[in-house]
Chain A
Amino acid sequence: MSVPANVRRWLKLILPLLLLLALLFLPKTDPGDNVIRMLFLTAVWTTTSLAWNLLGGMAGQVSFGFAVFFGLGAYTTALLMHAGHSPYFGFIGGAAIAALASFLIGLPTFRLRGPYFVIATIGVTEAVRVIMNNLDITGGSSGYRIQEDGPFRPLEHYYTAIAAVTLAVIVSTVIASSKFGLALRAIKQDEDAAAAVGVNPYVSKLWVHAIAAALTGLAGGIYARRAAFFYPGDVFAFQTGILILLMPVIGGIGTVWGPVLGGLVFGMVEEQISVKFPNLHLMIYGSLLILIILLEPDGLLGLLRRLFRRRTRENPGSTDADKVLWGRSSA
Chain B
Amino acid sequence: MTAIEYLDLLLKALLLAGVYAAMAVGMTVVYGVMKIVNLAHAGFLMLGAYFALEMFQRFHLDPIWGAILAIPAFFLFGMIVHWTLVRWLPKSDTPTLASLLLMFGFWLVLQNMGYLFWGNEDQSILTPLTLSAVHIGESISIPKVNLVVFAAAAVCMVVLQVIFNKTWFGRSMRAEIQNPYAAKIVGVDDERTSRLTFGLGTAFAGFAGALLGMLYSFSPDFGRPFLLRSFVIIVLGGLESVSGVALGAIVLAVLETFSTTIPFPWYHHGWNYYYLPPSYQPVIPFALLVVVLLLLPKGLASLFSRRWKVA
Binding site for B on A (CB under 8 A): 62, 108-109, 111-112, 114-116, 118-120, 122-124, 126-127, 130-131, 133-134, 238, 242, 249, 279-280, 282-283, 285-290, 293-294, 297, 324-328
Contacts and interface: CB of A to CB of B under 8 A. Distances in A.
B104 interface: yes
A80 to B, nearest CB: 26
Chain B, interface SS category: helix
Contacts of B94: 114-115, 327
A138 to B, nearest CB: 14
B250 to A, nearest CB: 20
B112 A282 contact: yes
B289 A283 contact: no
A124 B286 contact: yes
Instruction: Tell me which of B85, B92, B102 has the highest count of chain A C-beta atoms within 10 A of its own C-beta.
Output: B102
A115 B290 contact: no
Nearest to B116: A279
Nearest to A297: B98
B228 A122 contact: yes
Contacts of A279: 112, 115-116, 120
Interface stretch (B140-148, B255-263, B275-283): B275-283
B88 A294 contact: yes
A290 B85 contact: yes
A111 B311 contact: yes
A113 to B, nearest CB: 8
Chain A, interface SS category: helix
B131 interface: no
Contacts of A287: 105, 109
Given A130-B279, A134-B279, 17 more contacts: A112-B293, A112-B294, A115-B96, A119-B231, A120-B289, A124-B286, A126-B225, A126-B228, A127-B290, A130-B283, A279-B116, A282-B108, A283-B109, A283-B112, A289-B101, A294-B102, A327-B94
Contact of B90 (A115, A120, A328): A328
Contact of B98 (A119, A285, A327): A327
A51 B250 CA distance: 40
A123 B290 contact: yes
Contacts of A111: 294, 310-311
Given A109-B290, A111-B310, A293 B102 contact: yes
B289 A123 contact: yes
Given A111-B310, A118-B100, A327-B97, A293 B105 contact: yes
Contacts of A297: 98
Contacts of B98: 293, 297, 325-327
Interface residues of B, number: 44
A131 B277 CA distance: 11
Contact of B92 (A126, A130, A285, A327): A327
B50 interface: no
A1 to B, nearest CB: 34
A325 B311 CA distance: 23
Contacts of B113: 283
B46 interface: no
B291 to A, nearest CB: 9
B280 A130 contact: yes
15 contacts: A62-B97, A112-B293, A123-B289, A126-B224, A126-B225, A126-B282, A133-B279, A134-B279, A238-B224, A279-B115, A279-B116, A283-B109, A286-B105, A286-B112, A287-B105
B122 to A, nearest CB: 15
B96 A327 contact: yes
Interface string B9-44: 000000000000000000000000000010000000
A294 B105 CA distance: 11
B100 A115 contact: yes
Given A126-B286, A130-B280, A290-B105, A115 B37 contact: yes
B108 A286 contact: yes
B109 A290 contact: yes
Contacts of B287: 123, 127
A325 B280 CA distance: 35
B72 interface: no
A286 B228 contact: no
Nearest to B225: A126
Nearest to A293: B102
Contacts of B280: 130-131, 134
Contacts of B108: 242, 282-283, 285-286, 289
A324 B92 CA distance: 14
Contacts of B290: 108-109, 120, 123-124, 127
Contacts of A238: 224
Contacts of A242: 108
Contacts of A324: 97
Contact of B277 (A119, A134, A327): A134
A285 B98 CA distance: 16
Instruction: Tell me which of A115, A122, A288, A293 has the highest count of chain B C-beta atoms within 10 A of its own C-beta.
Output: A293
